[in-house]
Amino acid sequence: MTIKTLSLVSLGASIGLAALLAVGSAQAAEDAHATPHPERQSWTFAGPFGYYDRAQLQRGFQVYREVCSNCHSLKRIAFRNLAEPGGPQFSEAQVKALAAEYKIKDGPNDAGDMFERPGRPSDRFPPPFANENAARASLGAIPPDFSLLAKARSYSRGFPLFLIDALPIPGGAYQEHGPDYIVALLNGYSKEDDPNYNDYFPGHKIGMAKPISDGAVDYTDGTPKTLPQYARDVSAFMMWAAEPKLEERKRTGFNVMAFLLSSRACSTTRKSACGPTSPTDRSLKRNEKAPETGSFLFPVIARSEATRHSI
Ligand code: HEC
């Protein structure tokens, strides 16, 4: 590609981007009437080198356990996941003790009866309600399961901004709308006289009355016991629950990018720099006979000719 074509392509791209931004901001202004956009938080797990802050995940789990788990299930997570790399990384002993505090329904036994036993690390978190109807009957609305919620509740920045969010450019590739939304939601109960009014919930009337306030959970590591802190910690925990393998995925993605970039560098530098180096490679290279015609079709024809002659 010549420099001229390159500059034409980049000019085209910038014009396209500017147009997208212009339409996007009009759309954003329209959306703002309905519900404000959650503020962007800075998360350790954002970006290509993202990782979870272990202490934050442990605090977030504490908030989930002591407050949210009274209504919200966490069906896809087993106790032992809490000890795995890339997660809150509680010790095996802590997880065993934690699991044993729960009663798990099991069975049937030899007599055909269901029974309860203490939890084991391989068990999943038992749900607070037997089924959705029981939850609705008790709360008036169904509390969604926490397993995937942080990824399912990505608030939309509307077309075409969601395209920009996906671009691998600074400010692009943003995938943390879900945790941003949850932080905003928990901090968004703005009417003292209406515990179900929330600035950030679509339509503003949410079936979950303000679930947590300052001082509700007793952190032991000196972290402030405030609502904004609880909101950030539990959102980070929910992000982990929705994507427990995030760190692994980001590492793999980075390695693939590095590999692609290095192979691209090889193909643009002199062949000898990246060509075959081992003796085997070299001999393989020597034995390869390029077809005299120079076309990739001819070796096939030449081989079939040879077969015909030998018959
Ligand atoms: C007393 C029960 C209860 C508790 C405790 C509770 N929730 Fe909820 N939650 C609900 C119900 C019910 C809904 C469904 C609301 C609706 O659809 O209107 C809900 C919905 C949600 C939603 C989804 C909102 C949406 O966009 O649909 C989030 C996120 C959430 N809760 C987070 C939390 C967090 C975090 C905690 C703990 C700090 C928590 N909840 C504690 C009952 C509860």
Reported as a single tens digit per residue, the pLDDT across 120-129 is 999 999 999 9
Does residue 242 lie in a domain region?
A: yes
Q: Which residues line ligand 1 (CB under 6 A)?
A: 63, 67-68, 70-72, 139, 141, 143-144, 149, 153, 182, 185-186, 201, 206-208, 211-212, 234
- pLDDT for 266 equals 65
Closest CA to 74 of 39, 7, 123: 123
Give me the CATH number covering residue 232: 1.10.760.10
Whose CA is closest to atom 28 on ligand 1? 182
Q: Name the token pair of 245.
A: 């393998």
Question: How remote is the CA of residue 142 from the centroid of ligand 1, in Å?
Answer: 8
Angstrom distance (rounded) from CA 224 to CA 115:
42
Whose CA is closest to atom 36 on ligand 1? 68
- pLDDT for 300 equals 40
Strand-strand pairing, 115-118 and 103-106: antiparallel
Does residue 88 lie in a domain region?
A: no
Q: Give per-residue pLDDT as tens, 236-280.
A: 999 999 999 998 888 887 778 777 887 777 676 655 555 555 545
Q: Is the pLDDT of residue 118 over 50?
A: yes
Pocket test for ligand 1, best of 72, 129, 199, 232 (most atoms within 8 A of CB): 72
Whose CA is closest to atom 34 on ligand 1? 68
Which residues are within 8 A (CB) of 271 and not within 5 positions of it... i.e. 6 or more apart?
none
Whose CA is closest to atom 40 on ligand 1? 68
Q: Is the pLDDT of residue 132 over 60?
A: yes
Question: How remote is the CA of residue 49 from the centroid of ligand 1, in Å?
Answer: 30
Inter-residue contact 71 to 145 (CB < 8 Å): no
Does residue 112 lie in a domain region?
A: no
Angstrom distance (rounded) from CA 213 to CA 210:
8
Pocket test for ligand 1, best of 69, 71, 237 (most atoms within 8 A of CB): 71
Q: Element (H or E) spanning 36, and its range? A: none
Whose CA is closest to atom 33 on ligand 1? 68
Question: How remote is the CA of residue 5 from the centroid of ligand 1, in Å?
Answer: 53
Which residues are within 8 A (CB) of 103 and not within 5 positions of it... i.e. 6 or more apart?
116, 117, 118, 119, 126
Total count of domains within the chain: 1
Does residue 293 lie in a domain region?
A: no
pTM over 0.85: no
Does residue 62 lie in a domain region?
A: yes
Q: Give per-residue pLDDT as tens, 30-54.
A: 444 478 989 999 999 998 889 999 9
Q: Omega into 202 within 30° of 0, i.e. cis? A: no
Question: How remote is the CA of residue 6 from the centroid of ligand 1, in Å?
Answer: 51
From residue 296, give the alpha-carbon distance in Å to each of 60, 206, 236, 291, 301: 60, 66, 55, 8, 10
Whose CA is closest to atom 20 on ligand 1? 143
Beta bridge partners of 105: 116
Inter-residue contact 103 to 109 (CB < 8 Å): no
Does residue 310 lie in a domain region?
A: no
Closest CA to 261 of 274, 248, 250, 272: 274
Does residue 270 lie in a domain region?
A: no
Q: Name the token pair of 107.
A: 């069975």
Atom of ligand 1 nearest to the CA of 135: 12
Question: How remote is the CA of residue 237 from the centroid of ligand 1, in Å?
Answer: 15
From residue 154, give the alpha-carbon distance in Å to each of 111, 114, 175: 48, 39, 8
Which residues are within 8 A (CB) of 153 and not within 5 positions of it... i.e. 6 or more apart?
177, 178, 181, 182
Give percent of the chain with pLDDT exceeding 90.
58
Q: Name the token pair of 303.
A: 């081989």
Does residue 132 lie in a domain region?
A: no
Pocket test for ligand 1, best of 142, 208, 240 (most atoms within 8 A of CB): 208
Inter-residue contact 87 to 107 (CB < 8 Å): no
Q: Give per-residue pLDDT as tens, 148-180.
A: 999 888 766 666 666 766 666 555 567 899 999
Range of the domain at 231: 19-77+141-252
Q: Name the token pair of 48.
A: 């290509």
